[in-house]
Chains A and B, each alone.
Chain A
Amino acid sequence: MTASNPEFEADCIRRILAGEKHLFHALIRPSERAIYFLLLGLLRNEAEAEDAAQETAIKVYRNLHLFRGDAQFRTWVLSIARNEGLGRLRKQASRREDSLEEKIDEQSGDYTPAILTSWREIPAEALERKELGALLRRAIEGLPGIYRNVVLLRDIEEMDVRETAAALGITEGAVKVRLHRARALLQRELAPQLKGFAPQRKGLFGWGK
């Protein structure tokens, strides 16, 4: 994550609005990844996320005079990205199961982790990187939308709780709860699969499901 630099941003915005339009490239660059991953989380399609990211950047530019500086610039940018993504989802004729209005009771429901003891000591280096990457991406893409977004912003973009909450339009408490649930789901999904990479050690708390 690129640390935000409010003074640089404010100066840039002032100059862009005064006519130095090409400074916009430098202004938006630090937010590019976060815009993309937020949209990827929402849209689950790389090409669409990229197109939406471009639209977002253009909207940010067109509306730059509306930025008031009472939020972090990137947070404001991400709220525009979120609106772009949600707008596209609404337009999609076929409703996904995993829709915007998805209601998952976040507080209840038992979480039973994958219980196994043999994987934990495996160094990441021991895993084939490419294969591991694909496994992780699949697991994250398979998460329900509300969890996937939080993981993408918190654990992948390493945004803090406050900024994640602002970008997603949810409370900080909801960010924490969703992150917890997401990690639990990922652990349950991944631990047994990653166990396949491990040296076999039978007889210990086997994965019983």
Chain B
Amino acid sequence: MKIDCKHVWEYISAYIDGEVDRALRAEIDRHLETCEICSAVLDSTRNVVVLVAGDRVFELPVGFSERLHARLEKELDLEQPGTS
């Protein structure tokens, strides 16, 4: 089976997550060896995934946890679960 660029793009996410089977992975790897475009697309997609997962991109608002537990504290003082 010979795969083309479009085919590779369809599987990029699964490829990054290690969710393509061995035969397909080998096929994609073979394609990537000679296709600079696809290997750039793969690298930039992988970069996006890594950057997005990086810490401090998305953080809880400052004081979120304190406010949450303060509100819970009030609730806990009032109620026992299952009684409302």
Interface bits A126-142 vs B (CB < 8 Å: 1, else 0): 00010011001100100
Q: Which of B49, B69, B81 touches A183 (beta carbons < 8 Å)? A: B49
The distance in angstroms between the C-alpha atoms of A89 and B15, with both chains bound, is: 35
Residue of B nearest to A129 (CB): B56
Instruction: Report B-chain residues with C-beta under 8 Å of the C-beta of A63.
Output: 81-82
Interface contact A114-B44, CB-CB below 8 Å: yes
Interface residues on B, range: 35 or more
Say yes or no: is A9 at the interface (Cβ < 8 Å to chain B). Answer: no
Interface contact B56-A21, CB-CB below 8 Å: no
Closest Cβ of chain A to B73, distance in Å, is 8
Say yes or no: is B21 at the interface (Cβ < 8 Å to chain A). Answer: no
Residue of A nearest to B82 (CB): A65
Say yes or no: is B33 at the interface (Cβ < 8 Å to chain A). Answer: no
Interface residues on A, range: 35 or more
Interface contact A37-B58, CB-CB below 8 Å: yes
Q: Which of B49, B68, B76 touches A155 (beta carbons < 8 Å)? A: B49
Interface bits B12-29 vs A (CB < 8 Å: 1, else 0): 111010010000000000
Closest Cβ of chain B to A96, distance in Å, is 21
The distance in angstroms between the C-alpha atoms of A66 and B82, with both chains bound, is: 8
Say yes or no: is A117 at the interface (Cβ < 8 Å to chain B). Answer: yes
Interface contact B81-A62, CB-CB below 8 Å: yes
Residue of B nearest to A21 (CB): B76
Q: Which of B44, B64, B82 touches A50 (beta carbons < 8 Å)? A: B64
Say yes or no: is A205 at the interface (Cβ < 8 Å to chain B). Answer: yes
Instruction: Report B-chain residues with C-beta under 8 Å of the C-beta of A132.
Output: 51, 57
Instruction: Report A-chain residues with C-beta under 8 Å of the C-beta of B47.
Output: 119-120, 122, 124, 194
A37-B58, A184-B13 known; A61 vs B68 contact (CB < 8 Å)? no
Instruction: Report B-chain residues with C-beta under 8 Å of the C-beta of A17.
Output: 81-82
Interface contact B52-A156, CB-CB below 8 Å: yes
Closest Cβ of chain A to B60, distance in Å, is 6
The distance in angstroms between the C-alpha atoms of A208 and B18, with both chains bound, is: 30
Say yes or no: is A102 at the interface (Cβ < 8 Å to chain B). Answer: no
Closest Cβ of chain B to A35, distance in Å, is 9
The distance in angstroms between the C-alpha atoms of A114 and B47, with both chains bound, is: 13
Residue of B nearest to A19 (CB): B80
Instruction: Report B-chain residues with C-beta under 8 Å of the C-beta of A121.
Output: 43
A21-B76, A190-B48 known; A61 vs B58 contact (CB < 8 Å)? no
Say yes or no: is A152 at the interface (Cβ < 8 Å to chain B). Answer: yes
Q: Which of A115, A122, A129, A191 touches B48 (beta carbons < 8 Å)? A: A191
Q: 10 additional contacts, CB 8 Å, given A24-B76, A25-B73, A155-B52?
A: A21-B76, A50-B61, A61-B81, A65-B82, A114-B44, A136-B52, A179-B13, A184-B45, A186-B48, A190-B48
